[in-house]
Amino acid sequence: MTLLRVRNLAVTYPTSEAMIRAVDGIDLDVNTGEVVGLAGESGCGKSTLALAVARLLPRGAVVSADEISLGGTDLRTVADEELRSLRWRRLSLVFQGAMSSFNPVMRIGSQIAEAIRTHEPDTNRRDVADRVGELLNQVGIAAARSEDFPHQMSGGMKQRAMIAMALACRPDLVIADEPTTALDVMTQAQILDLIRRLADELGLAMLIISHDLTVLAELCDRVAVMYAGRIVEIGEAEEIFGAAGPAHPYTRRLLDCYPRLEGGQGSISGIPGSPPDLAHPPAGCRFHDRCVQAIPGCTTAVPALRMVPGSVGHLAACTLLSVDTAISQ
């Protein structure tokens, strides 16, 4: 059952020189109990997308969409009062806790308790404290640490505390923005295990955003890949990361950036060039100037998301696909 439905979401930042389209016409679904990943380079708009859905963008950003609905509530038009009430209870976020996502002058426990008391104001103090302790235990932190200030916790611990806080009001959907970035590899693995476990146990729907495809490969049921403000590929994780491999040249190059333990010889390559200027995006497919497989048709028409032949629900926005389809027909 669809929990989050986003249709044709666009986010524009008007500046004195030009309009920057950080997100340009995105469709995205997250079903109940499903873990969806959102991948892409820095600056491709993925964090902007998450903040736009949660309506947390600073003023100055112009958000438009045909639909943004969370379980029946239209997030575009919902009143402030109701928006605040559904925050954390139905939709919560996990930011990079290792940075400054916690208030430095408030104890961790108080910040978690604050969320609980805001949305369940009748809970008495003892119960709130117990709940905080349970949440911390759930993520592997001793309950006594709730008295700590953020600077007293390590990066990994803060990230776990951030996760604990996100679960405080038993949300339907959790959006995690780069949950493992800025952590060392060992801690990353621990956090990934934790997220995986919690998602399974609690039947959470999650939208995980990361530039690290390996992270998404481990955690997600479905994955969407963004480039320059658009979704260029979306499908089941098993399909994209499996034997068949990705259908979009960008995703393929992205995957090539990460070494694999099992494969034999191979070379890690970066992607030449840099992401396009979002104020003046190139015509046609936005990846064409960095794509080794580009054909003349790539510069003229903007490729739509098309079904990858022989798959179920695997879509990619590549001109080559329609060429292949045409050839194979």
Partner 1 sequence: MAGYIGRKLGYLVITIAAVLATNFTLFHLMPGDPVTHIARGQHLDADAVARLRSFYGLDMPLPSQFITYVQHLFRGDFGWSYTYQTSVGPIVAKALGNTLILVTISTLLVIVFGVVLGVFAASRRGTRTDGGLVIGSLVFWSLPTFWVGMLLIFVFAVSLGWLPIAGMFTADALYPTVFTKIADLARHLILPTVAMVLVDIAQFVLISRSSLLAVLSEDYMTTARAKGLTPRRVLWRHGVRNALLPVVTATSLYASATVGGTIQVETVFSWPGMGQLIYLSVVRRDYPVMEACFLVFAIVVVLANFASDVLYRLLDPRVRLT
Which residues are at the interface with partner 1 (CB under 8 A)?
Answer: 51, 54, 56, 83-89, 92-93, 95-96, 99-106, 114-115, 118-119, 149, 151-152, 165
CA distance 184 to 288: 34
Spatial separation of the C-alpha atoms in residues 295 and 285, rounded to whole Å? 11
Amino acid at 227: Y
State which residue, 25 or 149, has the beta carbon closest to partner 1: 149
Those residues whose C-beta lies under 8 Å from the C-beta of residue 295, and which sit 6 or more positions away, are: 319, 320, 323
Q: State the minimum distance, in angstroms, from the CB of residue 103 to partner 1.
A: 5
Which CB atom, from 115 or from 320, has the smaller least distance to partner 1? 115
If the CB atoms of residues 171 and 275 are measured against partner 1, the closer one turns out to be: 171
How far is residue 143's CA from residue 215's CA, in Å, rounded to a whole number?
Answer: 28
Q: Rounded to the nearest whole angstrom, what is the least distance from the CB of residue 183 to partner 1 in the complex? A: 16
Is the CB of residue 217 less than 8 Å from the CB of residue 238?
no
Q: Min. distance of Cβ 291 from partner 1 in angstroms?
A: 35
Kindly state the helix (H) or strand (E) to which residue 91 belongs, with its residue range: strand 91-94
Q: Which is nearer to partner 1, 126 or 151 (CB)?
A: 151
CB of 134 to partner 1, least distance (A): 18
Give which of 324, 329, 328 is closest to 297, Cα–Cα.
324
Tell the smallest beta-carbon distance from residue 118 to partner 1 (Å).
6
Nearer to partner 1, 84 or 260 (CB): 84
HSE at residue 133, side-chain half, CA atoms within 13 A, is: 8
Q: Which is nearer to partner 1, 116 or 254 (CB)?
A: 116
CB nearer to partner 1: give 54 or 254.
54
Short-list 38, 33, 80, CA closest to 56: 80
Least Å distance between CB 18 and partner 1? 20
Contact criterion met (CB below 8 Å) for 233 and 316: yes
Rounded to a whole number of angstroms, the minimum distance from the CB of residue 105 to partner 1 is: 6
Strand 306-307, strand 315-316: pairing? antiparallel
Positive or negative: CA dihedral 292, 293, 296, 298: negative
CA atoms of 49 and 54, how far apart (whole Å): 9
